[in-house]
């Protein structure tokens, strides 16, 4: 009966990121989250869909990470999450006005990125990508931080105990 219930469920978002990051509930996993665990993770975000109206599944991975662990009982305070954005994903963290000017549509990632930052996720943008891909700081969503480079941010965060997740 438990197996049937598992296959009848639907993926759902929340409780941290309400509109993004749908995940499956896994009741009573054999390999469970150790008590008092703190997760410090950094997501290397470099790819983006070619379709300018499509949302970034790699950024949404951070929403899934937060939601699945919160649904399993982990407190938000125990999850430290950082996105390091560079390369093709540079366009995914600019304002709707800047995105509209470049691509003729609203940024499909803006709301999701803002919800992530509202939940305490840090978003760090590669300064090298900013200049090489012509995405100046003035066009970035508020609270996005500019770094010397993605490499610098990734190394420094890993030195601070963050674990790299690259999808």
**pLDDT tens readout for residues 19-55:** 999 999 998 899 999 989 999 999 999 999 999 999 9
Quick one: DSSP state of residue 19? S
Residue 7 pLDDT greater than 80, yes or no: no
Quick one: DSSP state of residue 124? E
Q: What is the pLDDT of residue 105?
A: 98
Tens-digit pLDDT profile for residues 133-150? 999 999 999 999 999 999
Residue 6 pLDDT greater than 60, yes or no: no
Q: Calculate mean pLDDT across residues 65-79.
A: 96
Domain boundaries, the chain: 9-24+38-165
- Rounded-to-integer distance, Cα 143 and Cα 116, Å: 11
- Rounded-to-integer distance, Cα 147 and Cα 151, Å: 9
Q: What is the pLDDT of residue 8?
A: 66
Is CATH 3.90.1150.10 the classification given to domain 9-24+38-165? no
Residue 154 pLDDT greater than 60, yes or no: yes
User: Is residue 167 very low, low, confident or very high in pLDDT (cuts 50, 70, 90)?
Assistant: confident
Q: What is the pLDDT of residue 1?
A: 44
């Amino acid at each position: 009966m438990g197996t049937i219930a598992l296959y009848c469920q639907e993926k759902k978002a929340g409780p941290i990121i309400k509109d993004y990051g749908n995940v499956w509930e896994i009741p009573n996993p054999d390999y469970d989250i150790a008590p008092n665990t703190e997760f410090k993770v950094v997501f290397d975000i470099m790819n983006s869909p070619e379709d300018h109206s499509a949302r970034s599944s790699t950024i949404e991975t951070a929403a899934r990470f937060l939601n699945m662990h919160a649904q399993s009982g982990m407190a938000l305070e125990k999850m430290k999450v950082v996105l390091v954005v560079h390369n093709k994903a540079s366009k995914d963290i600019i304002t709707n006005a800047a995105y509209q000017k470049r691509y003729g549509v609203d940024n499909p990632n803006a709301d999701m990125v803002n919800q992530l930052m509202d939940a305490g996720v840090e978003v760090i943008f590669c300064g090298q990508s900013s200049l090489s891909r012509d995405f100046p700081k003035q066009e970035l969503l508020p609270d996005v931080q500019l770094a010397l480079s993605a490499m610098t941010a990734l190394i420094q965060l890993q030195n601070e105990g963050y674990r790299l997740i690259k999808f």
